[in-house]
């Protein structure tokens, strides 16, 4: 896929105020400081389309970017737990769960994971929630340039092993680096293929 245009459209915290058109959406989400803004800028080949920050948790809204006039890249806040009153049950931020549960145009979520770290409970819990909610997702391992090949392979193998403790198979995943564009073509080609399938369906 060639990126001919990528423009910021809107930010909000209410799903009802998201774009009304029926273009397919791909949501990018991950823990704070996972490199999400840098990845989005790399994919779109724009230096500051998504605002990067040294301070974790910069993204606090649902951000829609219109790409090639025919699909949306959705930049979601880093997920965290919120304790529900009257119980110790933990849930993710309400408007994040609202987005995934109510946004019919959302085709796929890309869950970003820092490849340098061992599997983190909050990432595993969030993917578990997506699975239980019937929401399709892929994993994007970020910051691949920070590890040597053997260490990267070992970490992904460890992640796969952990996922297979509760999943029948490892979800599809991509290995990326914002600094040297590793994985860019693979991610965009995958989105392009899904868009082509959608165009031939009753989306």
Residues 106 and 74 sit within 8 Å (Cβ to Cβ): yes
Domains of the chain, start order: 6-199 (3.40.50.300)
Chain-centroid distance of CA 82 in Å reads 20
Q: pLDDT by residue (tens digit) across 107-120?
A: 999 999 999 999 99
Q: What local confidence, expressed as pLDDT, does residue 91 receive?
A: 60
- 37: its two tokens: 């803004």
Beta-bridge partner residues of 172:
none
Nearest to 26 by CA among 185, 121, 135: 135
Residues 105 and 71 sit within 8 Å (Cβ to Cβ): no
Strand pairing of 81-83 and 62-67? unpaired
Ranking 101-110, 145-154, 191-200 by mean pLDDT, the lowest is 191-200
Q: pLDDT by residue (tens digit) across 186-197?
A: 999 999 999 999
Radius of gyration for the alpha carbons in the chain, expressed in angstroms and rounded: 16
Nearest to 63 by CA among 40, 94, 80: 40
């Amino acid at each position: 896929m060639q990126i001919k245009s990528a423009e910021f459209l809107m930010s909000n915290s209410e799903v009802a105020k998201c774009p009304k058109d029926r273009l397919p959406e791909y949501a990018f989400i991950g823990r704070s400081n996972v490199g999400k803004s840098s990845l989005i800028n790399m994919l779109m080949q724009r230096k500051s389309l998504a605002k990067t920050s040294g301070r974790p948790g910069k993204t606090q809204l649902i951000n829609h970017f219109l790409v090639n006039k025919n699909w949306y890249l959705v930049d979601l806040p880093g997920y965290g737990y919120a304790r529900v009153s009257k119980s110790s049950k933990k849930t993710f931020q309400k408007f994040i769960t609202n987005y995934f549960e109510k946004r019919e145009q959302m085709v796929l979520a890309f869950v970003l994971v820092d490849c340098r770290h061992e599997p983190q409970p909050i990432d595993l819990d969030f993917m578990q929630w997506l699975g239980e909610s019937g929401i399709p997702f892929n994993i994007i391992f970020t910051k691949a340039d920070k590890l040597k090949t053997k260490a990267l392979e070992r970490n992904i193998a460890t992640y796969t092993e952990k996922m297979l403790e509760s999943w029948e198979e490892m979800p599809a995943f991509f290995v990326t680096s914002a600094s040297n564009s590793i994985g860019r073509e693979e991610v965009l080609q995958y989105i392009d293929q899904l868009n082509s399938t959608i165009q031939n369906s009753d989306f």
